Structure 1
Amino acid sequence: MNAPGRPAETVTPYRFTYDDVLRMAEAGILPEDAHVELIEGELIAVSPESVPHVRCRRWLTQFFTRRLTEGEWEVNSDAPVRLDDLTAPEPDLAIFPSRLHDRDVRGVDIVLAIEVSVSSQAFDLGRKAELYAQSGIGEYWVIDVPARRIVVHREPSAGGYRAVQEVGARGSIAPKAFPQLEINVADLPLDD
């Protein structure tokens, strides 16, 4: 016996805007400790930070803050970056000119974005890299903690980054915007 047929339902997800999310946070709908990113209108839960993640992010923040000219460059850690009305990820580090207020920063203003990736490599190297390239972020690094490598993305375009390079545990790399600031992968605190 067949069950009676039901008409097909059309389900359309509601897409949040960046301003919607700000209002939800201000109204207490989103708890202050909620770890989410706005990606193409959807709120995506972010994994809790592990000890290696926190140590590596802190090391990178201190490295760039101590070496970049104060008043010329901002080193933003774990703050949302509004790529468009529907997308505001929170890179572990974003470096942009100090003359800009962080709420006014867009992708093209960021000379370097860094994600420290312990368990989210597929997303960080996939969709997030596409979004960062499409928004014009000049350079994007993924610190792949388990693999002890940095995946460097340069030359953003609408179709993704045109230049992608892997720097292994014995290698070093400097951001294109700051060629004097070379980082040895072996110096990064990637252990528990």
Structure 2
Amino acid sequence: MNAPGRLAETVAPYRFTYDDVLRMVEAGILAQDARVELIEGELIAVSPESVPHVRCRRWLTQFFTRRLAEGEWEVNAGAPAHLDDQTAPEPDLAIFPSRLHDREVRGSDIVLAIEVSVSSLAFDLGRKAELYAQSGVREYWVVDVPGRRIIVHREPSAGGYRAVQEVGMRGSIAPKAFPHLEIAIVSLPLDD
């Protein structure tokens, strides 16, 4: 017996905005400490932080906080980066001018965004890198903890970052915005 033919129904997902998410948090629908990121209107679950992830993020946060001029630069760890109305990823570290409130910060205001990657390398190097580049984040680092390297993205454009460089354990790197802040990769806590 054949079922009668029927046109397939299409279902369009609802896309959230950054303001929708803020209202959900304020209303208690979404916990303030919920482990999600807003990516192109979708709420994406974020993996729990591992010990190597926390150690590396903490080291980088302290490194930049101690060396950057207080009152001039904000070193924001784990807060949303409002790239557009439907995209607000939470880089492990974002550096932007202190004169801006973190809810006012847009991609082009961020001079350095860092993702510490233990289990999300493909997402961090793929979709997130594209979004950061398209929104004008000037420099984007992915710290590949298992690979013991940093992948540095510079020169953002609508099509992605035009300059990508890998720096391994024997190398060192400094952000373009802060050339005096060189980090030897071997000094990072990249051990499990």
Confirm or deny a common fold (TM above 0.5). Answer: yes
TM-score (norm 2): 0.98
Distance 1:109 1:31 in 2: 27
Q: Which residue of 1 aligns with 2:172?
A: 172
Question: Displacement, 1:32?
Answer: 2.7
TM-score (norm 1): 0.98
Question: Displacement, 1:101?
Answer: 1.1
SS in 2 for 1:59: helix
Q: Which residue of 1 aligns with 2:27?
A: 27
SS in 2 for 1:96: strand
SS in 1 for 2:179: coil
Distance 1:184 1:170 in 2: 8
Q: Which residue of 2 aligns with 1:189?
A: 189
Question: Displacement, 1:99?
Answer: 1.0
The runs of 4+ residues in structure 1 deviating greater than 3 Å are none
SS in 1 for 2:146: coil
1:156 and 2:149 are equivalent in the alignment: no
Q: What is the letter of the counterpart of residue 151 of structure 1?
A: I
Q: Which residue of 1 aligns with 2:10?
A: 10
Distance 1:128 1:47 in 2: 15
Instruction: Map residues 30-179 of structure 1 onto 2, 5 A cutoff.
Output: 30-179=30-179
Q: RMSD in angstroms over aligned alpha carbons?
A: 0.8
Distance 1:111 1:31 in 2: 29
Identity %: 86
Q: What is the letter of the counterpart of residue 9 of structure 1?
A: E
Distance 1:114 1:66 in 2: 17
Deviations 1:124-167 (A, max 9, x none): 00010000000000000000011000000000000000000000
Distance 1:78 1:69 in 2: 20
Distance 1:74 1:175 in 2: 15
SS in 1 for 2:38: strand
Question: Displacement, 1:110?
Answer: 0.5
Runs of 5+ consecutive residues of structure 1 not aligned to the other structure: none
Distance 1:170 1:5 in 2: 64
Runs of 5+ consecutive residues of structure 2 not aligned to the other structure: none
Distance 1:119 1:5 in 2: 44
